[in-house]
Structure 1
């Protein structure tokens, strides 16, 4: 990235991952948990997504990690005391310039003080000011499990949730209520203060491969990894959507509803059941098996000739379109061993024949399946020009969600 004169060298990583937090100011408030050692990399992750990060520390946090480390991590002076500059008001007063107060890690002591309105550390003073001004506050607890299980701690957390404060984690294991992972924290911050173009929308995504049983051990499947579907689910969630993903993998994001479906029939039934609950969009990114068979109830002995009799599976998109014609649908078309002209010709046929709103086409013989990158073309049901995207699947998900946002906005205006 171009260097800005007089910019701290540590900020040269700004926006190297994405621009999801570009223009946002995050105050990272650190308290005296050993998990404070995680905050250096956490701050860097926000900067990699375009954010401006400032740190504020309690005295106890300074016993774990030095202010110099967080100055390096953020590129800004660290606030360790409230001075005549009234830093808490500068960032979180009614005219304050910060977008979010993120308290990570938050100890049981800090939770109790915030819940009681006590502000005897820089962190709790920032919290009192931000809450009083109605600014977004997010808290990431970290402590021993016995402390987390104290009734007062639970009551304090519920009290603060009733004020609109978001909590991320903790992850309870090994007798410790551990700080949430950086990826989870970053995702929740993106959802809270990033663009909210899909807020209030319900999006259903199918992802990955299905698996048709041959016997209790063997399956018939394909090479689809589900990486694209996962990235689509994450991007929709970032933008504020209520997201459900149907697949045979595991994404493991608390806010995203996951439905396990092994076979093509299970996936089709799951999607139709979900659509009955009312969705704005179905993104059919899964590579659903075209053929299935009657599985043997016992393992088929090896070393013998084997003949299998296949039959075609149900067509998910066809059934979804017939049952819920008002739902917008984005389909995917994968081909192998064809040139670009033939790929787009086949994709346009599927787009029209299946009455889709958009279709994403790619030729996978040279890559795309199981990789982190792809080369795809988006085709539209109207006269809009085809859009080619090449790069990481996270980029493809980002661009596709831009197009989906425009599609849903146009629907709202009808």
Structure 2
């Protein structure tokens, strides 16, 4: 007869959001199981692959509470300045720009609390290594990977059967499986999709001149081209991550180019402020769309991260929204268990949905509007947005509001 394991929470999906939630609950002493189809190897020395996450000031606290921030094996790169420009490929950027300086926007006591930066660039391999190591070290977390789960949710409990393994009983199942969540489909939760007919091309570059912690968001007719400052690696002293948004047809052509030609095309969009550039790691590409689940909860079920929502990367907030889901759900679950209440009860799940869905809907709407406003070459709109960028730059209260929203709100 198969072994039965009883926990409070079972998380399906061990990616950055699901893994962080398991670490946060485990750090609080909450018996937790986490299941993933893929193995979670130690990853002692994985190669640099060019991928990185922009972690805002508020969500950084989630990683700290989960015991992950201090365990990152590769130093994060601080984002201390952000420059927003508008232009066309191969031409100088508009002289009207928006510049955020962390010393102007983040004031004491917030500056000390968040390390004096808007956010940090964290290598994907670094976060993965920290999560895998932390999961293995937490006595209250049981990891099942690789494993295939069959989930049965009942009014008072949930049963997670692992193929060829034990059966896990719990009071709450969390779907952290990504945009194509099987648990969301099983629950009959509808989603709204917004296709953009754009592709995100992600890679890293080494460059001749230092970036001084400054991120660039350069708006081009086909979409934004972002340069995000990373910490030095063993491959180069000056490193940045690039998120290049392009129309699908052009993106396919760019991705088919050899490295030298691809690098020249990237440099045409980036400009020459960093000097000569070269590729580091490999190129990655992702079709871009927005998605929002019509509800985040069902019987004994909560959706987090990409299972619940997806936004355009124009503001770099996709993963940060997932971490804010983690913060909200973990706080509710921990408080419920400490009060000897049911962490999977409907009232708790309704509070989670009421807290997170409006925030995520606002970010989806904001990023959608920004993409539609900036990803075009219509002259009146170009003039209007250039004037708007310059106006925000010159109005300190409005500038501060924009920055707090864009970087995930300091106290989120």
Fold equivalence (TM over 0.5): no
TM-score by length of 2: 0.25
Task: State the structure with more CA Rg.
Answer: 1
- Higher RCO (CA 8 Å, separation ≥ 6 residues): 2
The structure with the greater share of residues assigned to strand is 2
TM-score by length of 1: 0.25
